[in-house]
Amino acid sequence: MTKVSKALVTEASHTLRDAFIDYNMRFGQITRRAKKRFEQRNWTDSRADAVERIDLYERSVNAAVTEIKELTSNCDDQKTLWHEIREKYSRHIQAYPDTEFFKTFFNSVTRRIFSTVGVDAEVEFVATDVKPTEYARSQIERHVYRNRGSLRHLFDEALGEYSCSVPWRDIERTIDYITAEIEAYTASLGTRASVIQVEMMQTVFYRSTRAYLVGRLEGNDWVSPLVIALKNTDEGIAADAVILSENDVSMLFGFTRSYFHADVTRVSAAVAFLRSLLPATPIAEIYTVLGRAKQGKTDRYRTFVSHLQQSDDQFVFARGDKGMVMEVFTLPSFPVVFKLIRDRFAYPKDIARQDVLDKYRLVFNHDRAGRLVDAQEFRSLEFDKHRFDDELLAALLDGCAQTCSVEGDKLIVSHCYIERRLSPLNLYLQEADED
């Protein structure tokens, strides 16, 4: 390798590290506004905060790209320079929590600078480098309440930990309601089911017009999620719902919901705790619903790459009626679909490609409220051509030629959306049993 200035490498590494720290600080500032918005019932500004926070990552990356380009522009050997920057940067971030976030930010910058197609292991962190290993050994900040014979007393103590400038509408009635819901739930589990302790995350989760207290119930041989939804009424704070089943909590934290504003110190620890409640929910979706959409995207890609290496099935058309705007395909063994915008739209569609991009952007910024699927936008993906069904490959190269091209044995997809794979409603209704 050509020698490059050590001073330049150090300065560039510090610049990128500080750029991510600045982004993370501003992300936290916006997130912490949620408590005040909830207390004041200021839903208009709450909505504006959600959009501002979503847009923040892109703005921060663009600013970092501009700054780092100016700093490194006089170096003739950019690949050698960036290889050394990556190595120095890797050492500089070790003292910080959630190091995988730093690495994802670094990759976002380098991919813009080099217009990377696929993965360039010389200048960016590869999938295994950004594996969220830290969450496995982190402990979430939480309160633990032992059941000393009265659930009512337990939740009197637990709700007393919740700090809010708005008084409870009727704290005794709220405690009675929560206790009754949990007792009914444990009764449904059988006569031996009793609550030994309750763990609650210290962080309150805010979204739209609700605040959520998140934790779990623990018995002798069972564990259950526990989410208490709070609303701010004219008369004060009240419990709106007590959510106890894994299925219901997974829908609350699901891919058809907008992102929470939850001010957690270590995101990886929060992900670990939530994953313990929702073992069937992909880590990528938990990152995303916590507002860390870019990290969710990174983890989905990391998981997908790992799966490709361990599977041999082919990409095929996704089930369902063909759409007029998108070509949709899937890998049967992996639960996502890939959606590519067609070059031409069949009659009666009269929209342009930019209209489609704008609509996806609207969904990304919008309160999906359980109705719309969260889609992640990917650019410059590289696939092995032989993994594609012949008919699908021909359709992509013909109908999506602006997006797809073949280079040697690789299929290059310059732009696509990836979503969780769902059963089309018409097929579901045909195939589901009567119950």
**Which is the catalytic residue, given 76, 98, 374, 435?**
374
Of 50, 54, 21, nearest to 377 by C-alpha is 54
Cα distances from 246 to residues 19, 260, 397, in angstroms, run: 38, 18, 43
The full length of the chain comes to 435
How many CB atoms sit inside 10 A of residue 197's CB? 14
DSSP string, 299-351: HHHHHHHHHHHT--PPBEEPSSPPPSSEEEEE-TTSSEEEEEE-SS--TT---
The alpha carbon of residue 125 and the mean position of all alpha carbons in its chain are separated, in whole angstroms, by: 19
The alpha carbon of residue 127 and the mean position of all alpha carbons in its chain are separated, in whole angstroms, by: 16
Angle between helices 43-72 and 6-40 (to 10 degrees): 170
Cα distances from 76 to residues 9, 12, 242, 356, in angstroms, run: 14, 15, 61, 40
Say if residues 373 and 285 touch (Cβ distance below 8 Å): no
Distance CA 22, CA 26 (A): 6
Angle between helices 43-72 and 78-92 (to 10 degrees): 130
DSSP string, 100-162: HHHHHHHHHHHHHHHT-SS--TTTS--GGGG---GGGG----EEEEE-SS-HHHHHHHHHHT-
- Residue 198 host element (H or E): strand 197-207
Look up 433 and say whether it is catalytic: no
Distance CA 77, CA 251 (A): 50
- Residue 211 host element (H or E): strand 210-218
Token couple for 359? 């609509």
Say if residues 268 and 134 touch (Cβ distance below 8 Å): yes
The residues annotated with a catalytic role in the active site are 374
